[in-house]
Amino acid sequence: MSNFLQSVRGALILGVAVGVIGVLALLFAEPFYQRIVFIFMVNLIAVIGLQVFMGNADITNYGHISFMGIAAYAVAILATPAAIKKTSLATAPFGLGTIEVALPIAILIALALTVLIAFLVGTMLVRQSGTPASIATLALLVIVHVVIMNWVDLTRGPRAIYGIPVKATLGMATICAILAIVAARLFRDSSWGLQLRAASENIAAASAMGVRIKRLRLVAWVVSAAICGVAGILFALFVGTISPKSFYFDLTFLTLAMLVVGGAYSVSGAVLGSIVVTFGFEIMRYLENGPQIVGLKLPTMFGLTGIFLGAIIVLCMILRPRGLVGDDEIDEIWRRRSKNRERSEISANASGAAQ
């Protein structure tokens, strides 16, 4: 029970940090910076979703963005007003071109569909480990993309779906991000998470101890997909226009970079990586536009953000291969440090008393 409370407390530390960012943006930021913070929240949720599977099962996952895409497309096709569908999705099959589903129901259906597809894919995927499993996730990303591109009647193919109700707010995104953090942390510290992490370190020993690896991987995979689905739904309901390109390699590698920079083995790493990359990106974007800083006019340097992302990944690989945070959660690191300090103080006191 105390373990459970510790997990919740650890999650809340991260949750408060994210909440403060959201609230500050809501209170003080201009519309443009509110958009940046909103997209940060969406990416953060996707990174946390990615961490749930990648961090616990230790399988590099390239397929998480496909679940964002499935959920986003599902909610877009269901919730777009029928009047707009008349021009944009008139030929949709199953009568989807004429119906308009209430938003909460559309969201639930989108999530259920994402979970169902994740479950079906997962039953096949969890049989593999290591590189073959990673390649299978990459294949999933490509398959989902190709289906969206070519099922023109349902998805408009390569053309954008527009007119999706713009209903998501920064407050909602912040709350969803905090909930995702709590869910990911509870999963990580649960007995399932612990067994899965043990299996990722030594698969033979873990299965000898009776860990049901495939089943646990499947659970992590589905939870991960559901969290990514939430990110996709928020994305669609915020931007109001989606296209297949939104859910492909660009976002896959951006979110992967965030997780790798922060550290894939902890939720703290996912959060920290998202923050560092997003705000680093924005500072670079500000610099590349050629601003004037204390009287000094900088030249415009479009492309600086791309260099930043590359540089930060390379530096991270060289200096901190397991990410900025490493293997443990931030609160665990703090607790250990304060324990060490106490211990050293006690031993110092003890040696002082002995003299």
x/- map, 80-119, other proteins, by CB under 8 A:
----x--xx-------------------------------
Q: CA-to-CA distance for 263 and 300, rounded, in angstroms?
A: 33
**Options 4, 119, 286, 334; binder of other proteins; rule CB under 8 A:** 286
Under the criterion CB under 8 A, does residue 310 sit at the interface with other proteins? Answer: no
Q: Comparing C-alpha atoms, which of 66, 259, 68, 212 is closest to residue 147?
A: 66
Under the criterion CB under 8 A, does residue 306 sit at the interface with other proteins? Answer: yes
**Options 147, 153, 162, 253; binder of other proteins; rule CB under 8 A:** 162
Residues 235-274, interacting with other proteins (CB under 8 A): 235, 239-243, 245-246, 250
Under the criterion CB under 8 A, does residue 36 sit at the interface with other proteins? Answer: yes
* Residue 241 structure tokens: 């226009």
Contacts of 346 (CB under 8 A, 6+ apart): none
How many residues touch other proteins under the rule CB under 8 A: the total is 52
Q: Quick one: 115 or 277, whose CB is closer to other proteins?
A: 277
Q: Quick one: 29 or 108, whose CB is closer to other proteins?
A: 29
Under the criterion CB under 8 A, does residue 171 sit at the interface with other proteins? Answer: no
Residues 142-161, interacting with other proteins (CB under 8 A): 149-150, 152, 157-160
Binding site for other proteins (CB under 8 A): 17, 20-21, 24-25, 28-33, 35-37, 39, 84, 87-88, 149-150, 152, 157-160, 162-163, 166, 235, 239-243, 245-246, 250, 275, 279-280, 282-283, 285-286, 288-289, 291, 300, 302-303, 305-306
